[in-house]
Structure 1
């Protein structure tokens, strides 16, 4: 079986088949389902593809992912895959007593590399504040974001936390919320020209620190890997931090080394054809620029693409090429690959977002922009530069 045997994306095919096995109790409640590695080998696909399938199963609450242990079938008798989660569906939220406060959360998507920590932080804060959290995903599609805002307002939520969809223009529905002074907090990025409270990482400083870390290892020919910026402030700030680090060290920025058109990791563009196209793009780029000794991936999934591309060339990470990125799932008991990364304080970000929207609901003022520091976590993907690397 290969990734091209069906018009349906392979991650959906894997999702469908594992879901069917769960529903027919081939895998019973509490039993472990195949890992990313095992699914990748069985279906002859990349681990990025099998990872996406497991994330979809977790999002449907069919499985519970436990770092270092694996993925397990959720307990159908309770109807809750994880007893600690306090996230309601819209149908359940309609049953909430009218006196309870309800906050809507609109997020592009979430997974073990980024997003889950945000939700944990918000859930805990909502539990402490005795309010309910209603979740809707948009998968990075602006139209879904518009509909989610409209539906949650119709549901009667008292406030909204929005992780804006990536796009060149902010959603008109968000502007309407700002004009109405509706309690609103933006997460992960701020929108230019929109006076809405936001909470994010200090992306500029984090990118600067990560780049300086590579400089300290002797790297000066660094390829910056990202999706198109499209006016997304998180991406723009990381680019600015990368450039500022070069300026501070007196190193010339060579944009010929950059790859800034990777799209396969965006929620609305995730499919096996796009993954393979991006991998081919990276392989060709590395072959054309043999001076590159390090790759700065703007996010974890791009780091996975970069590692795969390096290995396709018969090179090693980090002996031949180092890789640094933002965020990386925790590894326990030898599970997964530990990238050197900038770890964002997701749970704190989520907690502050929930507390700030509750403060706005109570008529209190909050900072217009809150930025949290990210922490550099050394891993296995970076090492001193080697000048005798040959492609």
Structure 2
């Protein structure tokens, strides 16, 4: 019968060997155990791995650290041999880090579902860490993300799957994980400048397909709208798809039809927080956007939004302004979120396989856990055009 249990990670192997040496008296009470630098050389691994092994010894009270002196074996009477809190006797687990409470954004739930299914099949436990944007903390969202990732590393997780808050997230934290060979996989968006395993949808091809659909329906004046194009590699890739389709079909690209920053502040906070104040700011920005586009001497006949939330919100605001969809303005989205089924007319959009993204991330992370020096892999999952009723044919 096939054994699906994950292999014992290196830090646990180091812990068990050090524990054996302490119990056997090789490291007697009061003696100093090897330094982290010495352990790194002995086991040919990173500091973060040996630090986690020594932390396990501390949790069991086998050792105590003395500042500037080293780590010393405690007296036998202090050992908590039966303790299981955060110890290696627990089920090996990985962590997933979201940029917002899981329940607030539909794609988070679908990614989480895929991760959970894959973890169950492979025998891993799963810890879910989410960024609370309403806790009143004075820290910025990126600083809080940095702290959460630090907690994941200290928790004894074998590795992490991370949906970064922004492509401009902390280069310090992500670079530290790379430097210390802590296994992690980024999903949906990259952090600029960080070379690490990455899984996303094929955003460029997906957006090409939806702009191509507009062009084939006779549209030539096509606007591009994003909440913050260059705050996320997924959105910047969609902009690349827009340009590739327009240029590929020899359709003129006009600067006045391009809006990179629908919300002129932290778009992610408005998008993830979804407070009354944030919604009101988004409404005002959407009104201004529509007034600008529809007031141009040559107005766009179609608007391609980088996600469904922007598309659906624009549909609602347009209706209140007396703009008919699709008679006066065609609109497309991206994501194929479940909420789309509640809107009429039915949105033309692009479906992503969020569950598949989560499952693929776990499989890739498992490879890294078994071999932290493995060459970085990137994976793009195919998307699918969903034709609804929000695009008017002009041919």
Measured in 1, the distance between the counterparts of 2:106 and 2:173 equals 29
After superposition, the Cα gap between the structure-2 partners of 1:232 and 1:346, relative to the gap in structure 1 and judged at 3 Å, is: same
RMSD: 2.4
- 1:145 matched to which residue of 2? 145
- 2:385 matched to which residue of 1? 376
Measured in 2, the distance between the counterparts of 1:281 and 1:120 equals 38
Shift of 1:255: 1.8
Pairwise mapping of residues 147-226 of structure 1 onto structure 2 (< 5 A)?
A: 147-226=147-226
Shift of 1:301: 1.0
Greater Cα shift, 127-136 or 209-218: 127-136
- 2:99 matched to which residue of 1? 108
Matched, 1:286 2:286: no
Matched, 1:122 2:115: yes
Structure 2: tracts of 5 or more residues without a match? 1-83, 134-140
Measured in 2, the distance between the counterparts of 1:232 and 1:293 equals 27
Q: Deviations over 1:336-362 (max 9, x none)?
A: 443111111111110010111111101
Q: Deviations over 1:141-189 (max 9, x none)?
A: 2112101111112211110111111253544111100111111100002
Shift of 1:309: 2.8
Q: Deviations over 1:29-60 (max 9, x none)?
A: xxxxxxxxxxxxxxxxxxxxxxxxxxxxxxxx
Greater Cα shift, 137-146 or 188-197: 137-146
Measured in 1, the distance between the counterparts of 2:255 and 2:127 equals 43
Shift of 1:97: 6.0
Matched, 1:132 2:133: no
Matched, 1:300 2:291: no
The answer to whether the 8 A contact 1:299-1:327 is kept is yes
- 2:365 matched to which residue of 1? 357
Q: Secondary structure at the match of 1:164?
A: coil
- 2:240 matched to which residue of 1? 240
The answer to whether the 8 A contact 2:228-2:267 is kept is no
Which of 345, 352, 360 is matched with 1:344 structurally?
352
State the TM-score, normalized to the length of structure 2. Answer: 0.69
The answer to whether the 8 A contact 2:168-2:192 is kept is no
How many correspondences in the alignment?
293
The answer to whether the 8 A contact 2:201-2:380 is kept is yes
- 1:268 matched to which residue of 2? 269
The answer to whether the 8 A contact 2:167-2:192 is kept is no
Shift of 1:198: 0.4
Q: Secondary structure at the match of 1:157?
A: coil
Q: Secondary structure at the match of 1:326?
A: coil
Q: Which structure's residues are more often helix, by fraction? A: 2
After superposition, the Cα gap between the structure-2 partners of 1:96 and 1:301, relative to the gap in structure 1 and judged at 3 Å, is: farther
Measured in 2, the distance between the counterparts of 1:223 and 1:312 equals 20
After superposition, the Cα gap between the structure-2 partners of 1:104 and 1:287, relative to the gap in structure 1 and judged at 3 Å, is: same
Give the number of the structure whose alpha-carbon radius of gyration is greater.
2
Shift of 1:279: 2.4
Pairwise mapping of residues 315-326 of structure 1 onto structure 2 (< 5 A)?
A: 315-326=323-334
Q: Deviations over 1:310-356 (max 9, x none)?
A: 21231221222111111133379x74443111111111110010111
Measured in 2, the distance between the counterparts of 1:294 and 1:228 equals 20
